[in-house]
Structure 1
Amino acid sequence: MRPPSGLRDGDEGVPPPRSSPALRGLPPPASPAAGPPPGSAPPRLVSAATGPAVPPPPPPPRPGSAQARRGALGSAHPIMALRRPALLLLLPLLGCRLLAVELTSSNTKPVVQEFQSVELSCIIKSTVTPDPRIEWKKIRDGETSYVFFDNKMQGDFATRAEILSRTSLVIKNTTRMDTATYRCEVAAPSDTKTIDEINIQLTVQVKPMTPRCTVPKAVPVGKTASLHCHENEGYPKSTYSWYRNSEPLSPDTKSNAKFQNSSYTLNPTTGTLVFHAVHKGDTGRYSCIATNDAGFAKCEEQEMEVYDLNIGGIIGGVLVVVAVLVLITLGICCAYRRGYFANSKESAESYKTPAKPDGVNYIRTDDEGDFRHKSSFVI
């Protein structure tokens, strides 16, 4: 069987391939979505309205590319140019700061109880002077005195204070008189700022002494009763609380059902307890406690008795006194009428001075100091 016309043997019905444009020496057709070939100039746009060709704007750089980084640095250059003069001005100031002596403290307001030890912290934060001069001063009631001067302790601190870690001050066996402001001064001649100081406020707490309590022994019903409690040794100042039969008296009588019937005023600052109108339920043993941050102290219990008034007894006593006065008055009147007082007066008037003997004059002289008589001659 012969193949169809136009086909050769072995083609099996496949048409012969057409010749490609490349083979014909022609450029390949441009794809509609493809851009210009690499290295070629961008196409020129021709506007029907204007006529001349306008080149397209350049595409933005891709994020992270070298071109994008160069653009960011270029935009930051004006800010850096403004910061450089400011940094140049700050460099001398920073140099002066580093060369200035500076002090600090770990605790500027230490609190200690009496008879204990305390450290007043003074730390040199910066200095270039190898051996700066250290001084400590005490300021109390407007007066300044030396504590550490010329590398020696001064006054009573010589036996109970010492310098720790080059500048800090340790005071042993503190007393209430040590409560004051302490100033640490450091002189560093090699520094640009040669002197610096820091103040430390020391508070020595003192436990209260046994308070002095005043409690009336007996008070009639309905009368006012004042109880007092006070002590002046504790520091800071003590506050006071009252107890009746070992139970605390509340400042507010309405807050405790046990004292709702009582009418009193309690002042914790002054330690005064005032009953405006006592009743039988206020009878009991009273005590007071003084308290501050250092401790407390208690006075002994004292008994206060509230008694009823005996109106009948009072009236009877008054009547007895009146009756006695009436009887005394009547007795005086009767004695006067009977002439007891008149006879005594007449007997006193009937007494006469005896006559002097004739021829004798009693003369008293200042020199003799006694009486003597002289004879007188009658002519």
Structure 2
Amino acid sequence: MMIFTLFLLLCIHCPVSMSVTVSASKSKVEVHEHTDAVLSCDFHTEKDQNPRIEWKKKGKAVSFVYFHNKFTSSYAGRAKMEGATLTIHSVTQKDSGEFRCEVTAGDDHVSFGEATVALHVHVPPHIPSCEVPRSVFVGSDLELLCKDQQSASPATYSWYKDNTALTVSSDTPYSMDTRKGTLKFASVSKVDSGMYRCETSDSVGAPKSCVAQQLKVIDHPAEISILIAGASAFVILAFLGAIFACVCRRRGFCTKEKKSKSLSCSSKSYNPPPPTIHNIKTYKATQSFMI
């Protein structure tokens, strides 16, 4: 009886530990781009009726979202507070990250509590970039590439040939990686020629596709040899023509001015030179004709 009485006296005189409690109903929030994101934060205090509420975002460094009862510049005008719950309007990919709700109750014995909410903003797919060569030889290996460079959301890639979706099975001559966007051929054949395009899709928006590109599988390497021979012959003929024109000009056969001078000389009439004084014979009278 004496021990129980002492225990009651100790409980009466010992201070009760009072603390603020903070919690989030959803620790992970996933929304689509340009919609609203609600980051919940619930708290309970024992004494302090006006605790200090702050929101911070963790990235490369910790930055303030809500501080001293107002939003920072990047969130001003597009966010609101209801109690300690934060709502961000028209979120973008830049808003993705880890947010932290902090509540400070100075009158409580344990005056600080926090809760963390991870926000992931799903971005619709963009038009992917496709790498398709114009021509390849029969029997060579080939890899077609497709990549959505702008989307941060995990995308699924699919390939089309002549507007028909390609599917992989045990007897298909190609393999496809729907996560990396690759289409690989171990050995291409003539039937693999066609128009190829890639399409990317995710759970956010409508699929996007690149412009179809023509792939030509060359049956015989001799076709390339013929093209190369024809181009080489054209270059040789052009070179010989340039040499001929240079020689012709140097010898004067191809100069219009020279030709016109020779024509003017041949058409000019001949005029004999005037007689000189020593060629004129003087007449000397030998007889007188007077009567």
State TM-score, norm by structure 2: 0.69
1:278 equivalenced with 2:188 (yes/no): yes
Tell me which of 73, 78, 100 is aligned to 1:155.
73
Task: For residue 201 of structure 1, report the CA deviation from its aligned partner.
Answer: 0.9
Kindly provide the CA deviation profile for residues 55-112 of structure 1, in whole angstroms up to 9, marking residues without a partner as x: xxxxxxxxxxxxxxxxxxxxxxxxxxx999999999999953xx32101111111011
The aligned counterpart of 1:208 is 125
SS at match of 1:157: coil
Contact kept? 1:108, 1:201, Cα under 8 Å: yes
Please give the alpha-carbon distance, in whole angstroms, between the structure 2 residues aligned to 1:292 and 1:246: 20
Paired letter, 1:309: H
Q: Deviations over 1:170-214 (max 9, x none)?
A: 111111111111111111122221110111111111122100112
Name the amino acid aligned to 2:85. Answer: S
The CA deviation at 1:158 is 0.9
SS at structure 1 position matched to 2:133? coil
Q: Confirm or deny that 1:267 pairs with 2:183.
A: no
- Give the match for residue 139 of structure 2: 222
Q: Please name the residue that 1:175 is paired with.
A: 92
CA contact (8 A) 2:42 2:85 kept: yes
Q: Percent identity?
A: 32
Residue 125 (structure 1) shift:
3.7
Q: Distance between the aligned counterparts of 1:138 and 1:316, measured in 2?
A: 62
1:223, CA displacement in angstroms? 2.1
Aligned to 1:65: none
Pair 291,90 (structure 1): closer, same or farther in 2 beyond 3 Å:
farther
Greater Cα shift, 271-280 or 155-164: 271-280
Give the structure 2 partner of residue 123 of structure 1. Answer: 42
2:56 pairs with 121, 137, 141, which one? 137
- Root-mean-square deviation (CA), in Å? 3.7
- The aligned amino acid for 1:270 is K
- Structure 2 CA distance for partners of 1:89 and 1:122, relative to 1, 3 Å: farther
1:301 aligns with 2:223: no
Secondary structure class of the residue paired with 1:158: coil
**TM-aligned CA distance change 1:309 to 1:184, over 3 Å:** same
Unpaired runs of at least 5, structure 1: 1-81, 255-259, 326-379
Corresponding residue number in structure 2 for 1:187: 104
Contact 1:206/1:233 (<8 A) preserved: no
CA distance, structure 2, for counterparts of residue 246 and residue 84 of structure 1: 88
Give the partner amino acid of 1:280.
K
1:245 maps to 162
Q: Which runs of 4+ in 1 moved over 6 A?
A: 82-94, 315-318
CA contact (8 A) 1:207 1:233 kept: no
8 Å Cα contact 1:104/1:125 also seen in 2: no
Deviations 1:17-74 (A, max 9, x none): xxxxxxxxxxxxxxxxxxxxxxxxxxxxxxxxxxxxxxxxxxxxxxxxxxxxxxxxxx
Aligned to 1:177, the other structure's residue is in SS state helix
Change (3 A) 1:93 1:271: farther
Bigger Rg over Cα = 1
State yes or no: 1:290 paired with 2:209.
no
Distance in 2, Cα, partners of 1:298 & 1:316 = 34
Hey, what's the Cα distance between the residues in 2 that align with 1:289 and 1:92? 73
Determine if contact 1:230/1:271 at 8 Å carries over to the other structure.
Answer: yes
Match of 1:59? Answer: none
Q: 225-234 vs 152-161, which deviates more?
A: 225-234
**Does structure 2 retain, via aligned residues, the 8 Å contact 1:188–1:194?**
yes
Question: Could you tell me which amino acid in structure 2 is paired with residue 188 of structure 1?
Answer: A
- Tell me the CA shift for residue 272 of structure 1: 2.0
Q: Identify the structure with bigger relative contact order (alpha carbons < 8 Å, sequence gap 6+).
A: 2
Distance change >3 Å, CA 315–CA 149, structure 1 → 2: closer
Shift of the alpha carbon at 1:127? 3.4
Determine the C-alpha separation between the residues in 1 that align with 2:43 and 2:226: 86
Alpha-carbon distance in 2 for matches of 1:245, 1:148: 54
Name the structure 1 match of 2:271: none
SS in 1 for 2:214: strand
Residues 180 and 277 of structure 1: is their aligned pair in 2 closer, same or farther, counting only changes over 3 Å? same
Residue type at the aligned position of 1:285:
M
